[in-house]
Amino acid sequence: MITIHSSLRNLILEWFSCRALQGVKQGLQWPAMERIKIYDTTLRDGMQTEGVSFSLEDKLSIARCLDKLGVEYIEGGYPASGPKETQFFAEVARQGLNYSKAVAFGSTRRIDTQAEDDGSLNAIAACKAPAATIVGKTWDFQVTHVLRCPLEDNITLCADSIEFLKKRGLETMFDAEHFFDGYKDNKTYAMNVLKAVAGAGADAIILCDTNGGTIPKDIYDITKKVCDELRRVTIGIHCHNDCDCATANTIAAVEAGARQVQGTINGLGERCGNANLCTIIPNLALKMGFDVLTPDKIKTLTEVSRFVFEICNLTPLMNMPYVGESAFAHKAGLHVDALRKSKRTYEHIDPELVGNERRFLISELSGKSNILAELEKSKITQDFKLARKILTCVQDLENEGYQFEAAMASFELLVRKIMGTYKPSFELIKYNTTVEKISNNGIVTEATVKLKIGDNVELVVAEGDGPVNALDAALRKSLENAYPLIKDMQLFDYKVRVVNAREGTAAKVRVIIESRDKTDIWGTVGVSENIIEASWQALVDSVEYKLQKNRGQRTEDGGQKRA
């Protein structure tokens, strides 16, 4: 056996990474190192995330999304756990998947039941899934303290369960639960379990860091020994993130020879979550040159990530590598200046490779380079005098409490005002809000808005769940006749922050509003000592941005972009 020095091995990996990345950029087909099969468990492990629950339609929507992404396996859950899981597999069988295989999950047979009579195994066999994963104990401590059965009996029931499903024509995988902890405590027993299920016909054996406490060196060393000993069966890896090493552990296992990778979209999962496929997939493909997904599929990762966050009703993690909104966001003026000269200076990949985009943040810390970069995005040629004027204005406004990092739509409108190209779509005459508490503890909120639109005056009254909601309803209702496209937009997030807390109830507040339509998401900002006025400013900018952008009638492609 040839041993490669670690520094030489790193050089080889770096060479493959460069070759693969150049191939993606140039549209070339470089020879892949090897195929890595992706096994997604978002619909089972991911649903164990605190606060997350999927309906049947949610699960089907995510399954269709993952099938389109091109993962090999989609683990759908326990068919024996309830009617929703049974319906899921029935619907997947009826509707079909174009690429992925649906996988039914379950545990080994009960110690007091034969495989033929076990309810969980029979539910898997009957659910029409083409593949199954069985979880079994490989840590002797778990066998004696949880199953409370003799060690040899556990080996038998693991092998019996695999054999039962293989005889029924299913591709069958074995999740070796707590394998790394078990190997450290009693490697002979842990390996005996794996040898038994391999002998029973398991198509793949997945080594699980169930407690998420193993570090990359141990993952590599142990996985390497397993791969060397069990050469005739595919070895996979399933990591949890309890010591923040799930991604690194997965990469280490692949380097050691694992050829199936399990994880979830966005790292969802119990406790601290599972290995994050949105990071692992581009690492394997773009950094290590493995054959994972095609470049066009990898370009959809950002879209997939945000879709799953939306289904989960969770706020996307802005600083998530590759797919996070901040993954390619640049604030320091020196960084932006360098990026304008060469994108390689402060970006490890082209954001387009994963479907993300480069963003330049505007703040009082920005230099002219940030402003110039934003002007270039708007097809405005380099104008240093204009950039200095805009930067001075931004610094003055931020001194008053404004912030444009999350309100780039307000920044874009500000630039148009400074350039003299801004033409308001309407003129405010007055607005008024009232909040009335009535005897049965109900609260009625009304807003009146009077606007001048061209030569017409619109006076509208609307109710809402609060003064801002009522103002939003009245404002948009007053504009619907003149601007029908206003019906496409909606306010979907509202944040308030006190700017100068020492002033108490007289302090200024900053309101950030996020709005969306069919193609875009945009943020706007307002600042005032009066929370209603700050909200009005942000609402007006939100509506104005919608109307200004639609004057150009940008093509709606179904994907949402952020401003």
Exposed / middle / buried, residue 283 (Cβ in 10 Å: 0-12, 13-18, 19+): buried
Here the tokens at position 559 are 């994907």
SS3 helix, strand, coil % of the chain, rounded to 5?
45, 20, 35
Eight-state DSSP code of residue 400: H
Which residues contact residue 395 at a Cβ distance below 8 angstroms, ignoring those fewer than 6 apart? 364
Nearest CA to 361 among 562, 174, 166, 545? 562
CB 93 within 8 A of CB 128: yes
Residue where the block lists tokens 């309100």 = 407
CA distance 553 to 491: 20
Give the residue numbers annotated as catalytic, written as ranges: 335
Return the HEC string of 60-121: HHHHHHHHHHCCCEEEEECCCCCHHHHHHHHHHHHHCCCCCEEEEEEECCCCCCCHHHCHHH
CA distance 353 to 406: 24
The phi, psi pair for 329, rounded to 5°, reads -100, 130
Name the helix (H) or strand (E) containing 520: strand 520-528
What distance lies between CA 466 and its chain's CA centroid?
32
Q: Is the dihedral of CA 391, 395, 397, 398 positive or negative?
A: positive
